[in-house]
């Protein structure tokens, strides 16, 4: 999906060639219908081998490079002070400028350790928008997780360049009133919950200034930091000539701490870290790390995982990679628009969100239109997507969306062309797409395990 860096060429392609292949699993419509019946029309219940193109998540599903596999072979599995730990901590400190690096098995473990040491009853942690696990970990420690998205974030069709921004005015009002109850301010880059939308550097700087004024630390949830930096280069004045590495270093220079799920922009299948400036907080977090994750030089990870992440953090900042990465979502969104299917605009970095209303307008909310589209994408073309609507959020849902998350470096342009063709085919037969009713649901997080049945007519 990338043009070549020197411009002028129309052909777009992936900036890698393939050394090792993994076969796809083809099934018939009849087999997929049987699988849907078996799982109660819930694609989370499918075996991966029943899925042709798996767009369930971009987390931990990426393909590693030859250099990462080579690094894995160099993994030093010593319990304490391994060479892999030295490489990992150097890579993180070089990128973030933060002295204390705490490895963890994935992003939510960094959140759990951080909030256990910083959040108490009566505290409030503002964020542009908290990711589910961030919110849950703050609430587990009896704090309040407050979303302060900018105004444009609420309008799926607004073509604003930085819809991931935090609302600085509301943040300022909060700090003016309750600064003593705010242990830290968070910024999630990119803003996953509202569609992988970026945060501008100007917004980060404004938040930093506010944090300085009120002497509150600023934390960055960096799961998709590199994609965010690419958007800054593309869209923000003054950054067009900067490298992704320079932009990332500037971004992190404003932070007192970073939580990271390396399953995204670490280009690894597992892992994460917490990076901190404060010596005392780091000492307390390390003590908790030992209790629940492991010794401070490996956290919950093997030496080989540390190697893969250290290498991944370098590769993810390659401009050719980022151009291809962000272009993939744009390309898929454009193909959907051409077929008359609306998406969240502009497309974010890691996923395309289809507006179910533009695909199955005859289905009312109580018939779960986005779920109906998810089922149909699987039935028609073996594609696994995720409902982000009334099934996931219940009556609180503000939109009925279908997320097509894009694993990193896994699918080629022809796979994406196929996905677009299936989306168009579902839209073309939209009158035949049935709504659904829930026949069983668990008390929490029902989208993972609920069972459904189609409603005729
Ligand atoms: C923005 C953001 N933060 C944190 C997490 C949690 O990371 P993990 O899944 O590695 O625990 C995710 C995972 O999707 C995420 O998207």
Contact 431, 360 (CB under 8 A): no
Task: State yes or no: cis peptide before 190, omega within 30 of 0.
Answer: yes
- Mean pLDDT on 183-204: 96
Residue nearest to atom 9 of ligand 1 (CA): 107
What's the mean per-residue pLDDT of the chain?
96
pLDDT mean over 252-274:
98
392 or 91, which is more confident = 91
Distance, in Å, from the CA atom of 75 to the CA atom of 301, rounded to the nearest integer, reads: 11
Residue that has been written with the tokens 């190697």 in this structure:
307
Distance of alpha carbon 300 from alpha carbon 393, whole angstroms: 31
Annotated catalytic sites, by residue? 79, 131-132, 221, 223, 264, 447
Compute the average pLDDT of residues 67-80.
98
Distance from the CA of 273 to the center of ligand 1, in angstroms? 11
Q: For ligand 1, pick from 58, 190, 198, 264 the residue to mutate: most ligand atoms within 8 Å of CB.
A: 264
**Phi and psi angles of residue 125, each rounded to the nearest 5 degrees, phi first:** -115, 105
Residue owning the nearest CA to atom 4 of ligand 1? 107
Confidence (pLDDT) at 193: 87
CA dist 47 and 129 (Å) reads 32
For residue 72, is pLDDT > 60? yes
Pairing relationship of beta strands 100-104 and 351-355 according to DSSP bridges: unpaired
Minimal-distance CA residue to ligand 1 atom 7: 107
Tell me how crowded residue 318 is: count the other CB atoms within 10 A of its CB.
18
> Mean pLDDT, to the nearest integer, of 22-49?
98
Average pLDDT over residues 226-253: 98
Dist. CA 318–CA 244, nearest whole Å: 7
Mean pLDDT of 440-456: 92
What pLDDT is attached to residue 457? 63
Q: pLDDT-derived band of residue 9, with 50, 70 and 90 as boundaries?
A: confident
Residues at CB less than 6 angstroms from ligand 1 = 59, 106-108, 131, 133-134, 188, 192, 221, 223, 261, 263, 272
> 56 C-alpha vs ligand 1 centroid, how far in Å?
14
pLDDT of residue 170: 98
């Amino acid at each position: 999906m990338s043009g070549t860096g020197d411009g002028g060429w129309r052909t777009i392609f992936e900036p890698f060639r393939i050394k090792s292949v993994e076969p796809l699993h083809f099934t018939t419509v009849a087999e997929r219908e049987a699988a849907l019946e078996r799982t109660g029309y819930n694609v989370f219940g499918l075996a991966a081998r029943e899925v042709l193109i798996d767009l369930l998540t971009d987390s931990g599903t990426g393909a590693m490079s030859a250099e990462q596999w080579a690094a894995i072979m160099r993994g030093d599995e010593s319990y304490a002070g391994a060479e892999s730990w030295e490489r990992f901590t150097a890579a993180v400190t070089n990128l973030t400028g933060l002295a204390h690096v705490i490895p963890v098995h994935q992003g939510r473990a960094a959140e759990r350790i951080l909030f256990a040491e910083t959040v108490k009853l009566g505290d409030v942690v503002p964020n542009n928008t908290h990711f589910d696990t961030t919110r849950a970990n703050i609430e587990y420690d009896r704090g309040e997780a407050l979303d302060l998205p900018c105004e444009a974030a609420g309008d799926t069709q607004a073509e604003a360049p930085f819809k991931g921004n935090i609302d600085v005015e509301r943040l300022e009002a909060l700090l003016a009133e309750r600064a003593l109850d705010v242990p830290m301010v968070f910024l999630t880059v990119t803003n996953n919950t509202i569609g992988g939308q970026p945060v501008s550097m100007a917004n980060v700087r404004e938040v930093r200034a506010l944090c300085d004024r009120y002497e509150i630390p600023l934390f960055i949830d960096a799961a998709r930091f590199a994609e965010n930096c690419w958007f800054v280069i593309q869209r923000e004045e003054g950054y067009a000539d900067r490298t992704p590495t320079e932009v990332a270093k500037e971004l992190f220079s404003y932070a007192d701490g970073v939580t990271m799920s390396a399953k995204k922009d670490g280009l690894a299948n597992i892992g994460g870290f917490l990076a901190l400036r404060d010596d005392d907080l780091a000492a307390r977090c390390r003590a908790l790390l030992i209790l629940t994750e492991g010794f401070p030089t490996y956290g919950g990870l093997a030496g080989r995982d540390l190697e893969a992440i250290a290498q991944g953090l370098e590769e993810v900042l390659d401009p050719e990679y980022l151009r291809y990465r962000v272009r993939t979502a744009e390309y898929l969104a454009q193909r959907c628009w051409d077929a008359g299917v609306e998406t969240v605009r502009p497309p974010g970095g890691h996923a395309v969100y289809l507006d179910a209303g533009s695909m199955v307008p005859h289905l009312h909310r109580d018939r779960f239109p986005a779920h109906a589209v998810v089922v149909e994408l699987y039935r028609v073309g073996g594609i696994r997507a995720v409902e982000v609507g009334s099934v996931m959020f219940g009556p609180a849902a503000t939109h009925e969306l279908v997320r097509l998350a894009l694993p990193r470096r896994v699918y080629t342009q022809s796979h994406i062309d196929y996905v677009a063709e299936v989306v168009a085919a579902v839209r073309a037969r939209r009158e035949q797409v049935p709504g659904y009713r829930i026949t069983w649901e668990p008390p929490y997080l029902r989208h993972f395990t609920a069972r459904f049945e189609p409603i005729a007519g």
